[in-house]
């Protein structure tokens, strides 16, 4: 289920120059904005959800003047590519741009309830309440670029790719450490039958990890470890193998073209199907058909 970020703003001297690009993943909404800035552009922003603001590109050598309280003196920061700010939920922020003509930036809005279910780190709540203004982090900047690329891509990758990127960024941003290791139980035979049967029935569409965890009433983290402990493979790999088995069934029927099969089984095109098929089976669909016919 996608949540909807709730933010109000009052801005002056900022004009969008491209259509907003956005994507949603598990617990995160990502927006890419490209704006033209007047000489003294300014704005006031407040979001009901915590958010991260990352500058991707900019022109002009000016500063970003920021305040978390308009009654307190403004703090001036050099406005550089990949500077970023984390703003907790409900905290207003005032900004003023000096000598910045253009900005392209990424906004990430976090649904805390969804993300917290994935972690057992009790310190997350405290960290969520601490603002961080115009800081730098090379790892977060690299992930932000990849997330922005997905937002603007005309051929986006599997949703699990974005889920993984945004989850990794969240972990890095809040320095979520590894929970003390403990023995992970496997899924019970009944649980394993339930979840693998569900994957088999729904393998031709994107299945989210949270969807599978909810099916068994488990957290994402526990389910992912327990599933791999039970099967030796990750849920996404299991689903892809199930999808390829559907492809093999269709290939065994005469008159089914590879292009039609790719469309039927949820692949973007014939080339995409061929790459995945070879990775899973070890040979291309054409070779597999030929060997089966002999």
How would DSSP label each residue in 63-124? EEEEESSTTSPPEEEE--TT-EEEE-TT--EEEEEES--EEEEEEEEE-HHHHHTT---TTH
Is 290 inside a domain boundary? yes
What average pLDDT is seen over the chain?
A: 86
18: Cα within 13 Å, side-chain hemisphere:
13
Q: What is the pLDDT of residue 120?
A: 66
pLDDT of 1 higher than 50: no
Is 112 inside a domain boundary? yes
Most confident of 105-109, 176-180, 183-187, 246-250: 105-109
Query: What range defines the domain where residue 280 resides?
Result: 184-294
If we measure between CA atoms, which residue out of 286, 288, 243, 284 comes closest to residue 266? Answer: 243
Query: φ, ψ for residue 237 (rounded to 5)?
Result: -65, -35
Residue where one domain finishes, among candidates 143, 173, 203: 173
What CATH number is associated with residue 226? Answer: 1.10.10.60
Domain match, 16 and 129 both? yes
What CATH number is associated with residue 26? Answer: 2.60.120.10
Q: Which of 99-108, 122-131, 213-222 has the lowest mean pLDDT?
A: 122-131
Domain match, 37 and 129 both? yes
Looking up tokens 């995945």 gives 276
CA 49 to chain centre: 16
Looking up tokens 């033209």 gives 36
Q: Would you call 56 helix, strand, or coil by DSSP? A: strand
Domain match, 12 and 135 both? yes
Alpha-carbon span 243 to 260, nearest angstrom = 15
Domain match, 250 and 168 both? no
What are the pLDDT digits (tens) for 139-194?
999 999 999 999 999 888 898 999 999 999 999 998 887 655 555 689 999 999 99
What are the pLDDT digits (tens) for 62-88?
777 777 776 665 566 666 778 899 999
Domain match, 14 and 146 both? yes
């Amino acid at each position: 289920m996608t949540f909807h970020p709730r933010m109000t703003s009052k801005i002056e001297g900022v004009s969008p120059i491209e259509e907003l690009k956005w994507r949603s993943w598990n617990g995160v909404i990502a927006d890419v904005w490209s704006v033209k800035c007047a000489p003294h552009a300014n704005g006031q922003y407040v979001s009901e959800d915590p958010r991260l603001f990352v500058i991707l590109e900019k022109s002009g050598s000016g500063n970003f003047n920021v305040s978390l309280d308009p009654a307190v003196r403004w703090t001036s920061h050099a406005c550089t590519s990949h500077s970023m700010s984390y703003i907790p939920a409900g905290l207003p922020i005032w900004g003023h741009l000096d000598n910045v003509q253009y900005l392209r930036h990424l906004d990430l809005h976090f649904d805390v309830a969804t993300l917290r279910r994935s972690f057992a780190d009790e310190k997350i709540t405290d960290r969520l309440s601490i603002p961080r203004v115009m800081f730098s982090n090379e790892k977060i900047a690299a992930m932000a670029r990849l997330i922005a690329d997905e937002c603007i891509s005309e051929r986006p990758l599997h949703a699990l790719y974005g889920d993984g990127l945004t989850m990794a960024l969240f972990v890095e941003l809040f320095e979520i450490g590894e929970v003390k290791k403990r023995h992970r139980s496997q899924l019970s035979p009944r649980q394993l039958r339930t979840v693998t049967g569900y994957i088999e029935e729904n393998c031709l569409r994107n299945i989210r990890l949270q969807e599978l965890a909810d099916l068994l009433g488990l957290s994402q983290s526990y389910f992912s470890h327990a599933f791999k402990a039970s099967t030796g493979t990750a849920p996404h790999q299991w689903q892809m193998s199930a999808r390829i088995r559907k492809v093999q069934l269709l290939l065994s029927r005469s008159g089914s073209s590879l292009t039609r099969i790719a469309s039927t089984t949820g692949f973007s095109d014939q080339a995409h199907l061929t790459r995945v098929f070879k990775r899973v089976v070890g040979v291309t669909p054409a070779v597999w058909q030929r060997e089966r016919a002999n």
